């Protein structure tokens, strides 16, 4: 299984990002694939924040949230999915499936032996991440959920179909330019940091594939897993939850998140960020502080 590895120098001097990389390359079933993760704060902390990025981002997306969580004496783990960030990028598009990524994250959680987890998710971080506690509920205590969904074979609307078609038409999509359009206050250097993992189009199999994997039609892989996850969050979740919504997101904004709130047992009314769009973590310091305050209440 051929994989590409982004040269380390592409990650030098990224603005606002001075976190040390960590790697594991022998996860069961993923031997030879190097998975990157950040590991900030004390290893023996009472709480661990597991922050999962989505399409087409990587650990850089959480740079505003990591210090807030770490200053609360928590451990903060931010992995990159295979195909993104500093993780290896399998070259075969067909390898990118729902369970390929889900099983990798389950293996990483087990390898790092994470407990007392606050799961922090957005976009594909949620589509995959919200299915994880079903397999290991004893490891998860709390949830911070931002613009995402739990698709089970039904349409997410015309906006998502437009996005899916757009990505399919752009095999070498400029991720930095996309982020700059979505988050206009980003500097050019910050926007470029989102393109850093991808020296050329051969590195972008994950970027191309993730929109095609969202379970919006009957029979797609992951639907049964997500149905089970919905049951878990509705009936078996007893932890604390916090929801933040970027109101300007045309696809996974307030209406979709209001439906998700009803699925998550005990989820309070969301924090709505009127100026934020899909990538809520770019307003992440305020979200992180509000989540911590909510959990202490």
Q: C-alpha distances in angstroms, 30 versus 45, 57, 108?
A: 28, 21, 10
CA distance 233 to 188: 39
The candidate with the shortest Cα–Cα distance to 65, out of 253, 244, 211, 195, is 244
Q: How far apart are CA 247 and CA 254, in angstroms?
A: 6
| Euclidean distance between CA atoms 233 and 78, whole angstroms | 23
- Shortest CA distance to 109 belongs to which of 68, 51, 58? 51
For the chain, the C-alpha Rg in angstroms (whole number) is: 17
Active site residues: 123, 249, 278
Instruction: Give the largest CA-CA distance in the chain.
Output: 49
Residues 219, 221, 222, 223, Cα dihedral to 10°: 0
């Amino acid at each position: 299984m051929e994989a590409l590895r982004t040269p380390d120098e592409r990650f030098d001097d990224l603005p606002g990002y001075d976190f040390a990389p960590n790697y594991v390359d022998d996860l069961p079933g993923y031997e030879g694939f190097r998975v990157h993760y950040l590991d900030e704060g004390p290893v023996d902390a009472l709480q661990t924040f597991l922050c999962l990025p989505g399409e087409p981002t990587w650990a850089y997306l959480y740079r505003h949230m990591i210090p807030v969580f770490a200053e609360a004496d928590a451990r903060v783990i931010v992995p990159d999915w295979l195909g993104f960030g500093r993780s290896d990028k399998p070259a075969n598009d067909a390898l990118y499936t729902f369970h390929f990524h889900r099983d990798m994250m389950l293996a990483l959680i087990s390898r790092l032996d994470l407990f007392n987890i606050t799961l922090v998710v957005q976009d594909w971080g949620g589509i995959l991440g919200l299915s994880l506690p079903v397999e290991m509920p004893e490891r998860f205590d709390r949830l911070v959920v931002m613009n995402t969904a739990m698709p089970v074979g039904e349409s997410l609307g015309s906006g998502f179909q437009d996005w899916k078609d757009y990505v399919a038409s752009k095999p070498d999509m400029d991720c930095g330019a996309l982020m700059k359009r979505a988050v206009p206050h980003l500097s050019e250097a910050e926007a470029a940091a989102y393109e850093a993992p991808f020296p050329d189009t051969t590195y972008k199999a994950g970027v191309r594939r993730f929109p095609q994997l969202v379970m919006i039609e009957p029979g797609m892989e992951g639907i049964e897993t997500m149905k089970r996850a919905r049951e878990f969050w509705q009936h078996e979740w007893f932890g604390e939850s916090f929801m933040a919504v970027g109101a300007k997101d045309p696809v996974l904004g307030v209406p979709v998140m209001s439906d998700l709130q009803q699925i998550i047992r005990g989820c309070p009314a969301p924090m709505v960020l009127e100026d934020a769009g899909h990538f809520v973590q770019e307003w992440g310091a305020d979200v992180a502080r509000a989540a911590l305050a909510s959990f202490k209440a």
